């Protein structure tokens, strides 16, 4: 995830979905894996009449700190943990190994939420995708009663396809050992995103 995408309508649907799932399934914890990418160099530039000016760091921290979502957990009666280690595409194997080692020690039933920029890899993965084999890796370390949830953005090249969710959903189910997935979406707030979820049994 890139921090500039944080706190739009998709995030409202995202967290509404996750909290609804937790309440429905009696889960008390959400673990978000945002695949946080390094900031681009020019992100914090501010210009006044063409001259560079210092960007107030407290404003950036307020609007771009992914960990602020953890406070929502207290209001919703559950815990939200953001695993905000930097995700570097060229080092994704190491990232996945570290992620799996962290998930292995979390014993209580939880929803693990994979939150890449655009979702599951189409043909090849970029830094904006999660691979099917990575979904399988994570699925392999989850415990019974855990849920795995993944964010999926509608691919631009299939914008006119009526049900663009089918292909990514099949890939998700494949990564989850062919477990049946549930699709969550909002047709009004963010019709271009869906969330696939499966329960480990």
Q: What is the 3-state secondary structure (H, E, C) of the chain?
A: CCHHHCCCHHHHHHHHHHHHHHHHHCCCEEEEECCECCCCCCCCCEEECCEEECCCHHHHHHHHCHHHHHHHHHHHCCEEEECCCECCHHHHHHHHHHHHHHHHCCCCCCEEEECCCCEECCCCCCCCEECHHHHHHHHHHCCCCCEEEEEEECCHHHCCCCCCCHHHHHHHHHHCCCCCCEEEEECCCEEEEEEEEEECC
pLDDT digits (tens, 9 = 90+) for 16-47: 999 999 999 999 999 999 999 876 555 677 88
Q: Residue 98's pLDDT band (boundaries 50, 70, 90)?
A: very high
Q: What is the mean pLDDT of the chain?
A: 89
Enter the pTM of the model.
0.87
Contact 69, 103 (CB under 8 A): no
pLDDT digits (tens, 9 = 90+) for 112-146: 999 999 999 998 899 999 999 999 999 999 999 99
pLDDT at 6: 54
pLDDT at 3: 47
Q: Which domains does the chain have, with CATH numbers?
A: 3-199 (3.40.50)
pLDDT at 4: 47
Q: Does 66 score more than 90 pLDDT? A: no
Task: Kindly state the average pLDDT of the residues 87-114.
Answer: 95
């Amino acid at each position: 995830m890139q921090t500039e995408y944080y706190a739009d309508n998709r995030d409202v649907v995202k967290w509404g979905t996750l909290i609804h799932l937790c309440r429905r399934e009696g889960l008390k914890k959400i673990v978000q894996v945002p695949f946080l990418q390094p900031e681009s160099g020019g992100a914090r530039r501010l210009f006044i009449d063409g001259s560079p000016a210092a960007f107030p760091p407290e404003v950036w921290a307020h609007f771009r700190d992914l960990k602020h979502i953890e406070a929502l957990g207290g209001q919703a009666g559950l815990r939200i943990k953001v695993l905000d280690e930097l995700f570097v595409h060229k080092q994704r194997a190491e990232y996945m190994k570290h992620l799996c080692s962290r998930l292995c020690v979390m014993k209580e039933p939880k929803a693990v939420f994979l939150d890449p920029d655009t979702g599951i890899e189409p043909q090849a993965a970029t830094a904006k995708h999660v691979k099917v084999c990575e979904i399988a890796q994570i699925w392999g370390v989850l415990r019974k009663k855990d849920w795995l949830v993944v964010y999926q953005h509608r691919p631009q090249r299939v914008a006119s396809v009526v049900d663009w969710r089918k292909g990514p959903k099949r890939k998700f189910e494949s990564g989850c050992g062919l477990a049946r997935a549930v699709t969550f979406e909002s047709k009004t707030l963010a019709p271009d995103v869906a969330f696939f979820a499966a329960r480990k049994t």
